[in-house]
Amino acid sequence: MQKLVINGGKKLSGEVTIGGAKNSTVALIPAAILSDTPVVLDSVPQIRDVKNLRSILKDMNVTSEMKDDVLKIDPTKIQFAELPSGKVSSLRASYYFMGAMLGRFGKAIVGFPGGDDIGPRPIDQHIKGFEALGAHVENKHGQIIITTPNGGLKGAKIFLDMVSVGATINVILAAVKAKGTTIIENAAKEPEIIDLATFLNNMGAVIRGVGTETIRIEGVDSLRSNNAHTIIPDRIEAGTYLSLAAANGGGILVKNIISEHLDAFLAKLDEMGVNLEIGEDSIYVKDSPELKAVNIKTMPYPALPLIYSNQSHLC
């Protein structure tokens, strides 16, 4: 697509259904290789990231099949494979394969992550977590090479120097099969982390405390998927449509929403004077002709995340 042509001057109305959360999906697909049985994910968004992650799965002899928004992943014949930078550089979330492969094979060789240009995302906290579990990490020629001792990974107490969604997820993936207890302190609290833990717990993992700053993981020997996992709605997509409805809507219903995931965002919409009707799993945005400016301070979740002030143009 070379350009977008927008003919404005009209109020928008109607309804839209929010898809599955991208930030959950890109963690759940790598997590699927930890299972000893096939995995089914429901409400998978049809985005390029999913296609790229499926390509990485194929390199490990993991088959996948997607029909509509249902993705079936079969890791039963998985084989260890190096993931070169050329394959993973287009997607930052590919670094979740570090934790997943470490949990599955006890080793990982992954090229440095790439992704959208939205600022630096150092992975030092990921490495700190892996090393605390007993892994040896080295950087050679643009690749992260992670190995573990003969005894495998062992549970540890890990304090993250900064709140990091990626590091929290990666340590969970690595620790879920480690021997003993792992405690992650100063952990990120995002709903996508809760979604990942729910997925793993339903397969037999023992993860407690997600959604708080302290997560406790009791290592298990194996994980087995028995039921399809439905991915949570994408709160960033929801926030974008709600902003659109507030700015130029004549009555828009946004469906498939978990409003608790949007508490800080909805509070700002209310402060602006947006007329909202919040239902059990939907939000109706009425015509709001008189909006006022508000001050916004972004902080880690559950406060208003930076991504909303960038994408939703609240001020």
Is residue 5 one of the residues assigned to a domain? Answer: no
Is residue 4 one of the residues assigned to a domain? Answer: no
Give me the helix-helix angle, 124-132 and 165-175, nearest 10°.
Answer: 20
Looking at the structure of the chain, the number of domains it has is 2
* Parent domain of 71: 22-230
Judge whether 250 and 13 are in contact, CB under 8 Å.
Answer: yes
Task: Say how far apart CA 213 and CA 250 lie, in whole Å.
Answer: 41
CA nearest neighbour of 217 among 163, 166, 165, 180: 180
194 in the same domain as 52: yes
Q: What is the pTM of this model?
A: 0.90
Which domain CATH number covers 29? Answer: 3.65.10.10
**195 catalytic per annotation:** no
261 in the same domain as 216: no
Is residue 214 one of the residues assigned to a domain? Answer: yes
Is residue 3 one of the residues assigned to a domain? Answer: no
Q: Which of 49, 74, 116, 234 is catalytic?
A: 116
CA nearest neighbour of 264 among 312, 197, 198: 312
Residue by residue, pLDDT tens for the chain (315 residues) are 789 998 888 899 999 999 999 999 999 999 999 999 999 999 999 999 999 999 999 999 999 999 999 999 999 999 999 987 656 655 666 889 999 999 999 999 987 654 444 344 568 999 999 999 999 999 887 788 999 988 899 999 999 999 999 999 999 999 999 999 999 999 999 999 999 999 999 999 999 999 999 999 999 999 999 999 999 999 999 999 999 999 998 899 999 999 999 999 999 999 999 999 999 999 999 998 889 999 999 888 999 876 543 333 333
277 in the same domain as 200: no
188 in the same domain as 60: yes
What's the token pair of residue 222? 């194996």
SS3 label, residue 201: helix
Edge-first strand order for the sheet with 206-208 is 157-159, 181-185, 214-218, 206-208
130 in the same domain as 261: no
